[in-house]
Amino acid sequence: MSGGGAMDDREKLSRLDDLVLAEILSTPDDVILAGIAPGKIDALRQEITTARIKAGKGRMADAKASLVIDRARPVVVSLDQARGATALKAARAQDRTLDQKLTMAARSGGADYEADRPGIEEDLAELEAWDDEDRGER
């Protein structure tokens, strides 16, 4: 009666399982509760609480691990951008007017200035690179 290949047996078993599950799920509440020992429902609820706490701890551990990995990751700054930042700092130190303008821009529209800053630094880095090339050609 149980003949057939591997998939057959697995599928047959699955169909029997579904029949049993359908019966359990359709059994009236009072009948299914009649087979439960006193205090069992509280114990079953406690199991869920335990599982919920374990899941919470697991999530917390995952979050901590992600934080540690994130903190351990080195901050990578491209050489060009770093060089541009140095050039911008130098330019502000040399040109008081430029420094004041950038300071005012930062005060009145901080977000815009901060958004523009990498672009300014990149432009300055590019200028520095051209200067290097010019010096090399001479």
Q: Which residues bind other proteins (CB under 8 A)?
A: 1-2, 5-6, 9-10, 12-25, 27, 29, 32-33, 35-36, 40-41, 44-45, 47-52, 54-55, 58
**Is 125:80 a contact under the CB 8 Å cutoff?**
yes
Q: What 8-state DSSP symbol labels residue 38?
A: T
Q: How far is the CB of 11 from other proteins (least distance, A)?
A: 8
Question: For the purposes of burial, counting CB atoms within 10 Å of the CB of 106, is it exposed (0-12), middle (13-18) or buried (19 or more)?
Answer: middle
Q: How far is the CB of 19 from other proteins (least distance, A)?
A: 6
H/E run at residue 113: helix 110-137
**Is 102:113 a contact under the CB 8 Å cutoff?**
yes
Closer CB to other proteins, 44 or 68, in the complex = 44
Q: How far is the CB of 28 from other proteins (least distance, A)?
A: 8
Closer CB to other proteins, 5 or 74, in the complex = 5
Q: What 8-state DSSP symbol labels residue 74?
A: -
Closer CB to other proteins, 25 or 79, in the complex = 25
